[in-house]
Amino acid sequence: MKNVWIIGSLVLVLLISGCTAPPKATAPGDTAGLPVKTAPPPEETAVILPMTATVLNEDFAFNPQVLVIARGGTVTWRQKDSDKHTVTGSGFDSPELSQGQTFSHTFSEVGVYEYGCKLHPVMKGTIIVK
């Protein structure tokens, strides 16, 4: 009688296990049947651009070489080298600046302004106005 119970239990386990389907194998990247999760919309962030900035003329280079500023903002170039330099670009041109002198320009239009030193053509910089 004990053997009948064991055999009956085994048959019952086999019948029950046959009633459930094994999980489907999915290929990498296969999302069929999976719940779709969507990311929340990105939060809007305001980028505040500076209205004033300083560029240093030092070691025969403009530092920073690229500067982003808000429309209507003013850039001041501060001469730190012992040699004279100029700041010359589209719509602006400084006199020759000696050590300690500054030159400022206000950018009223959005755009990209490349500039350089007339005395030292290797000195170049860019102002991006947004």
Say how many C-beta atoms besides its own lie within 10 A of residue 14's C-beta.
9
The phi-psi region of residue 6 (left if phi > 0; otherwise alpha if psi is between -120 and 50; otherwise beta) is alpha
| Residue of 42, 53, 48 lying closest to 77 (CA atoms) | 53
Q: Which CATH class is domain 52-129?
A: mainly beta
Say how many C-beta atoms besides its own lie within 10 A of residue 61's C-beta.
18
Q: Are strands 88-89 and 111-116 parallel, antiparallel or unpaired?
A: antiparallel
Q: Are strands 92-93 and 88-89 parallel, antiparallel or unpaired?
A: antiparallel
pTM, 2 dp: 0.65
Domain residue limits, the chain: 52-129
Q: What is the largest CA-CA distance in the chain?
A: 113
Residue 5's SS3 state is helix
Per-residue pLDDT of the chain (130 residues; tens, 9 = 90+): 554 445 545 444 544 555 555 555 555 555 566 677 777 777 777 778 888 999 999 999 999 999 999 999 999 999 999 999 999 999 999 999 999 999 999 999 999 999 999 999 999 999 999 9
CB 83 within 8 A of CB 58: no
Is 103 buried (19+), middle (13-18) or exposed (0-12) by CB count in 10 A?
Answer: buried
